[in-house]
Structure 1
Amino acid sequence: ASLFRGVSPEDFETHIRRLFFTLKERWGNIPFEVVNDGEVTALAGSMGLEANRVLGVAMGTSQAAGYVNGSGHILPWLNELAFAPVDFRDDAPSDEWSGDIGCGAQYFSQQAVARLAPAAGFDFGKMPFPEQLVKVQEAMKEGDRRAEQIYETIGTCFGYSIAHYADFYDIENLLILGRVTSGEGGQVIIDEAETVLANEFPDLRIKLVVPDEKTKRHGQAVAAASLPALVPVLA
């Protein structure tokens, strides 16, 4: 996994491979379940919306995703849409880790904002991506048309990508969150995506939803706590 790419093979085998088993043992063998954060986000959204067929997409450092099916269950596969292609041009931008081109992380994350900023007219030099995002958000708040164009581009790409995701997922609700969607720019992304869906894919009935503050703050914790199977303790 990319998270451990700086760990030597020897240390990985010794300390990482059974990491979660070690944690469970050290925590007194409490009920323990390991689930991708995207799945927990989607489950929290499903619980908050009281609805199923939810695809959750978080636009943050990268693109995270999770899915709850029509029965209200998360599934055993990985929904790593950050590495799923959404741009099939031969000259699409490449992912620095996998080397794949046109992946979602380049379009729906702070990487996307940094990649689009020069085209919009910003010159941030070698400023770290999180700081570039803050600058663009500040510019958006001040009514800078350049910032708005960045969000419009992300939203347009997202609309077409949602339709592409619908080829593989049965989606009724799409939960959208993450730091890229914070502030006025987030609504621009949603508006542009909805316009694409309405004009280009009118047969799709997918509702774009932003989680409420309760779900943002506590939803993941509540959903995660519901996952482990609890064994009754006999007195």
Structure 2
Amino acid sequence: MPAPFMDIRPAITPPLDPGFVPAELWNRAYRARCEGNPGVHPLAIALERTDGTISRFDTAVLAHAGENVALNRQYVERLVKFLLWARGGHRVMIGGDPAIARMLGEIYQPAGERKFDCEFMGTKIHGRDLIVEAVELKAMPEARESSLALGRHLDGCRIGFDLGGSDRKCAAVIDGRVVFSEEVNWDPYFESDPQYHYDGIDDTLRRAAAHLPRVDAIGGSSAGVYVNNEVRVASLFRGVAPADFDRRIRRIFFELQKAWGGVPFEVVNDGEVTALAGSMSMGENGVLGISMGTSVAGGYVTADGSITPWLNELAFVPIDYRENAPVDEWSGDRGCAVQYFCQQGVARLAPLAGLKFPAGMKFAEQLVEVQRLMAAGDERARRIYETIGVCFGYTIAHLANFYEIRNLLILGRATSGEGGAVIMEKAGEVLRAEFPELAEKIRLRTPEEKDKRHGQAVAAASLPALHR
């Protein structure tokens, strides 16, 4: 269904992506239509997870009739999509409008428009079908969140690793001091042999272990969803057939732990480690970390220094509401963050900037070339980073509706070099121009250059507590 028209006029236009329609500006225009409209009524969205925790989001919608149907569909469906991938849940409760609940139920079902999200949020992540149901507003559950301490253990001889789509990073750490760090290229995305993945990870651990007198603990991070070290969904392993995934990949880290003598072994989503790395290096909490690498990872450290059971899979959250927004080849959805804030985004913008790369050149290699051109002062490369920065600035404002952010940290391969500074500069410019209250509240941070590459591996090393 075509996106309904809204007269959206960003104060700052992304130079290579002038059609970009920021989610926050579209939602702001929708809320303006709601003001004083006699048909406006409350709507509540609640997402329940398998551990019993619940996230709730309250808003208001137009009367669900006539031309408002398309507007409500755009507004509420995009909110639900964002909440599913940011917070997670297998049960979506809609309070206040049964017609909107029915509409969403048709969209998020196995044969619906969001069948990818339905499958992943349901059986792949939570082990049960995703359901959308109407609930009376007065019967809607209140938020029921939980948090837990994460990492910050620096004692002993530790290995930390981070698995990306184009490289594996590792660090050897002794009592909090890094004695070795390294990254090794690999290409796991479409590798079907589970042994390739096992051998690659084990090789990384052995490289780090060679620089330690012993190995007391191992901590790791990777894009995807991990529950108690079990792989539920991860893009790194998407080339593995379902039967082989269940047989070898789902419990691959238990197999590795056994091979390494049963030492404490913890693996979590790389976004959480991104936020942890920032919190540890800055000595502050209330951190939303965004890793711009092979994909887009998010992680959140609360004001008290804990994490939540939220997914924070920000690669799939919608941030561009135009009808012809770029399509994510995996989920099939338009306007999701993965097409903007990682090496895929750089590759998408490169031809728009006038750069031509050989057919079949990998995204990681294109990023390296863009970084080389940026260092040489090439204006085409600079416009790529300016475009990413403008889009990111508007996205920060959208993220602030769902996270209490004191510090926003960006890192990852796509932010290395001079381009990362340009991204931060343009994002800050957008916040000051369009969202001055957020510009005052949120500190945009970036780690030292060495931490952009290895900070996650070092923070990952701190995940397990030693057996006492």
The alpha-carbon deviation at position 222 of structure 1 amounts to 4.4
The alpha-carbon deviation at position 216 of structure 1 amounts to 4.3
1-structure distance, mates of 2:349, 2:418: 17
Could you say what secondary structure the match of 1:134 adopts? helix
* Alignment match of 2:353 (pick from 95, 114, 120): 120
Counterpart of 2:256?
23
Counterpart of 2:423?
189
2-structure distance, mates of 1:27, 1:135: 38
The alpha-carbon deviation at position 84 of structure 1 amounts to 0.8
1-structure distance, mates of 2:258, 2:373: 49
Answer 1 or 2: which has greater strand percent: 2
2-structure distance, mates of 1:153, 1:217: 23
1-structure distance, mates of 2:455, 2:414: 19
Q: Deviations over 1:161-216 (max 9, x none)?
A: 01111111111111111222122221111110000011111111111111125644
The alpha-carbon deviation at position 217 of structure 1 amounts to 6.3
- Say which is worse superposed, 118-127 or 84-93, in terms of deviation: 118-127
Could you say what secondary structure the match of 2:366 adopts? helix
Counterpart of 1:76?
309
* Contact 1:48–1:215 (8 Å) recurs in 2: no
Aligned residues: 232
* Alignment match of 1:136 (pick from 370, 384, 390): 370
Query: Aligned letter for 2:277?
Result: A
The alpha-carbon deviation at position 4 of structure 1 amounts to 2.2
* Contact 2:264–2:465 (8 Å) recurs in 1: yes
* Percent identity over paired residues: 67
Could you say what secondary structure the match of 1:64 adopts? strand
* Alignment match of 2:444 (pick from 208, 227, 234): 208
2-structure distance, mates of 1:223, 1:132: 28
Q: Deviations over 1:9-30 (max 9, x none)?
A: 2222221222223333333332
TM-score by structure 1 length?
0.91
The alpha-carbon deviation at position 81 of structure 1 amounts to 0.6
Unaligned runs of 5+ in 1: none
Counterpart of 2:267?
34
Could you say what secondary structure the match of 1:105 adopts? helix
Could you say what secondary structure the match of 2:433 adopts? helix
Query: Aligned letter for 1:12?
Result: F
* Contact 2:407–2:442 (8 Å) recurs in 1: yes
- Say which is worse superposed, 220-229 or 151-160, in terms of deviation: 220-229
* Alignment match of 1:62 (pick from 292, 295, 298): 295
Answer 1 or 2: which has greater helix percent: 1
- Say which is worse superposed, 74-83 or 191-200, in terms of deviation: 74-83
The alpha-carbon deviation at position 3 of structure 1 amounts to 2.4
* Contact 2:326–2:334 (8 Å) recurs in 1: yes
Bigger relative contact order, structure 1 or 2 (CA pairs below 8 A, ≥6 apart): 1
TM-score by structure 2 length?
0.47
For residues 161-176 of structure 1, the aligned pairs below 5 Å read 161-176=395-410
1-structure distance, mates of 2:421, 2:465: 38
Counterpart of 2:106?
none
Q: Deviations over 1:77-113 (max 9, x none)?
A: 2211111111111111111111111111100011111
Q: Deviations over 1:33-73 (max 9, x none)?
A: 22111211210110110100111111111112211111101
* Contact 1:84–1:103 (8 Å) recurs in 2: yes
Query: Aligned letter for 2:317?
Result: A
Counterpart of 2:463?
227
1-structure distance, mates of 2:452, 2:344: 22
Unaligned runs of 5+ in 2: 1-232
Could you say what secondary structure the match of 1:203 adopts? helix
